[in-house]
Amino acid sequence: MAKLNQIIAVSKGVKSQTLRTLTDGHRDVQKPALLSGLSRTYQPKDDEGERLPPESTKVQLTANAVISDITAALVRLFDVVATQDYANRVARADVVVDGRVIAADVPVTYLLFLEKQLTDLHTFVDKLPFSTPRRTGPGPRRPDTTRPTRADHPDEEGAAQPRQGEATEKHPAQVEMYTEDVIVGTWTTIKFSGRCRRPRSARYASG
């Protein structure tokens, strides 16, 4: 077990590191580019159609990974500060939630510390990105909880190319040539997301 003087020596560094982790996480989850990815594949309409390479962008960050880092940092911080505060307990109180004591004989200094941490944590949680998957495919969509990112249903979009019209009875050769857009293939796009999933039991304002 660490001695009190050792805890005091490291507490400042732990506090600074935790604040940095929370600040970085709060900033990063508000960057849509880090949380978004996609995969696009092209299929020509026929064998003579132009072949285009697939396109993809990886999700660089998931909200769950940020939450995990912040959780680990907070656990370490709470342990260090609790050890320091419990060593000199004068004023104490129980922390009670829904009539159940979750922490007994807590020093008042630690209670004040927890209050500050909860305020900072609320600021982070309030800005967490939540996804609202679109249901373009048939039937209910079951979430895949084994993957760090989630995929939406594929969207298909026709790919058109302008082509010059040939002379016909309706468009004789002496008439000025015309162009029209002809569907030559299909783009299939799958969008990915690293955002949090909305709990079904919770109600959120749409926006």
* 8-17, 39-48, 134-143: least confident range: 134-143
Asked if residue 131 has pLDDT above 50, the reply is yes
Task: Kindly report, residue by residue over 75-105, the tens digit of the pLDDT.
Answer: 999 998 888 877 766 667 888 989 999 989 8
Task: Kindly report, residue by residue over 16-41, the tens digit of the pLDDT.
Answer: 999 999 999 999 999 999 999 999 99
pLDDT (0 to 100) of residue 31: 94
Mean pLDDT over each residue of the chain, to the nearest integer: 80
φ/ψ region of 164 (left if φ > 0, alpha if ψ in -120 to 50, else beta) reads beta
Asked if residue 120 has pLDDT above 70, the reply is yes
Q: Using a cut of 0.75, tell me whether the model's pTM lies above it.
A: no
Asked if residue 59 has pLDDT above 80, the reply is yes
Distance, CA of 85 to CA of 194 (rounded, Å): 38
Q: Give me the phi and psi of 3, to 5 degrees please.
A: -80, 160
Binning pLDDT at 50, 70 and 90, where does residue 204 land? very low
Task: Kindly report, residue by residue over 132-159, the tens digit of the pLDDT.
Answer: 655 544 444 454 555 566 666 778 887 7
Asked if residue 203 has pLDDT above 60, the reply is no
pLDDT (0 to 100) of residue 165: 64
Contacts of 32 (CB under 8 A, 6+ apart): 129
Binning pLDDT at 50, 70 and 90, where does residue 198 land? confident
* Structural tokens at position 114: 């927890």
